[in-house]
């Protein structure tokens, strides 16, 4: 099947999966940035774009950076107009951006723009201190900053810089997501626990983690080479007048990978992006959300 036609079909199928859309609200303008990643961004951006547009809440543009082998001059024309958008979603993990672009993102979010960070985008830009403040935790070694986890009683635990593990993950597997704040607009209405599809369960993330509010965690089991504690999967951070939503779920290695087809993941990304843009959420919880013991997948265009 022609890939473009397949994606149009996905939009219709995702719309059915949502049960009903938020189309009554004014559409928000989103910019997805991709172009470099240690994951397969080419197979990740199109279905995420389709799923977000299928909610009826977003119009989505994509800005693709030069690749990591492009001549230096190739970056001269890379100047996303962040201020045209209500929310920027990063599916990028690669070379540092030109200083003018990094400063533009800082100003955009600080002045009230929304930012959504998906999976390996939180690996990006080690050494960019303002980005570290926006994401809170990133894929860094244990000397980079504090670690944040949640203990068995639901208490947030901060491990000092230099102590405990740095960033990593065990083998990919399906795992249970636990909602830690059932009243936050993003997670309100979600079941307390639900099964996420096969994915990388990030652990040992490091950073300043200032003003970080954890919305969901997953238990990194030792039998899966995990840390034996509850690791943050979804969190939010204020940055100036803006809002930043992060989920470290969403690994994509090839076409049709289940992680981004998980209805729970798609719901979090859509509602998280809307919250980052507006501070509120109108996108409904779909009827086919995963349960505590069963994964729920949206259709794939993989052939």
Question: So where are the chain's domains?
Answer: 3-278
Read off the pLDDT of residues 5-41 as tens digits, 9 standing for 90 and up.
444 344 444 444 444 444 456 899 999 999 999 999 9
Predicted local distance difference test score (pLDDT) of residue 81:
98
Mean pLDDT of 293-300: 92
Q: What pLDDT does 4 receive?
A: 44
- pLDDT surpassing 50 at residue 246: yes
* pLDDT at site 301: 57
Share of the chain above pLDDT 90, in %: 87
Higher pLDDT, 17 or 203: 203
Please name the CATH architecture into which domain 3-278 falls. 3-Layer(aba) Sandwich (3.40)
Instruction: Please compute the mean of the pLDDT values over residues 132-145 and round it to a whole number.
Output: 97
| Helices 3-18 + 41-54 axis angle, to 10 | 50
Whole-number pLDDT of residue 217: 98
Burial 230-242 (b: 16+ CB within 10 A, else e): bbbbbbbbebbeb
What pLDDT is stored for residue 140 in this prediction?
97
pLDDT band for position 280 (cuts 50, 70, 90) = very high
The percentage of the chain sitting over the pLDDT mark of 70, rounded to a whole number, equals: 91
Average pLDDT of every residue of the chain: 92
pLDDT of residue 255: 83
**pTM of structure:** 0.92
Taken in order 253, 257, 260, 264, the sign of the CA dihedral is negative
Per-residue pLDDT for 237 more than 50? yes
Distances in Å between the Cα of 237 and the Cα atoms of 3, 108, 117, 202, 243 are 37, 15, 11, 18, 6
The average pLDDT across 192-215 equals 98
d(Cα 28, Cα 51) in Å, to the nearest integer? 14
pLDDT at 303 over 60: no
Tens digits of per-residue pLDDT, 61-112? 999 999 999 998 999 999 999 999 999 999 999 999 999 999 999 999 999 9
pLDDT at 24: 53
CB 272 within 8 A of CB 55: no
What span, in angstroms and rounded, lies between the C-alpha atoms of 263 and 177? Answer: 12
């Amino acid at each position: 099947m022609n890939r473009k036609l397949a994606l149009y079909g996905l939009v219709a199928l995702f719309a059915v999966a949502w049960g009903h859309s938020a189309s009554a609200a004014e559409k928000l303008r989103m910019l997805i940035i991709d172009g470099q990643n240690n994951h397969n961004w080419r197979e990740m951006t199109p279905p995420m774009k389709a799923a977000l547009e299928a909610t009826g809440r977003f119009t989505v543009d994509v800005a693709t950076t030069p690749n990591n082998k492009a001549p230096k001059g190739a970056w001269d024309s890379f100047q996303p107009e962040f201020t045209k958008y209500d929310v920027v979603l990063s599916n990028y993990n690669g070379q540092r951006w030109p200083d003018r672009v990094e400063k533009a993102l800082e100003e955009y979010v600080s002045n009230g723009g929304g930012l959504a960070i998906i999976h390996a985008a939180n690996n990006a830009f080690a050494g960019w201190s303002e980005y570290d403040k926006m994401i809170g935790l990133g894929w860094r070694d244990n000397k980079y900053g504090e670690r944040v986890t949640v203990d068995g009683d639901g208490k947030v635990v901060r491990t000092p810089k230099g102590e405990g593990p740095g960033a990593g993950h065990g083998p990919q597997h399906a795992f249970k997501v636990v909602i830690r704040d059932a009243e936050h607009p993003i997670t309100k209405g979600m079941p307390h626990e639900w099964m996420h599809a096969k994915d990388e369960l990030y652990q040992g993330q490091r950073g300043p983690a200032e003003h970080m509010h954890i919305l969901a965690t997953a238990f990194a089991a030792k039998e899966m080479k995990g840390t034996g504690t509850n690791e943050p999967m979804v969190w939010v951070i204020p940055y100036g007048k803006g809002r930043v939503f992060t989920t470290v779920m969403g690994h994509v290695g090839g076409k049709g990978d289940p992680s981004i087809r998980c209805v729970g993941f798609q719901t979090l990304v859509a509602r998280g992006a809307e919250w980052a843009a507006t501070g509120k959420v109108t996108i409904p919880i779909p009827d086919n959300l995963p349960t505590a013991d069963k994964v729920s997948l949206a259709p794939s265009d993989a052939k």
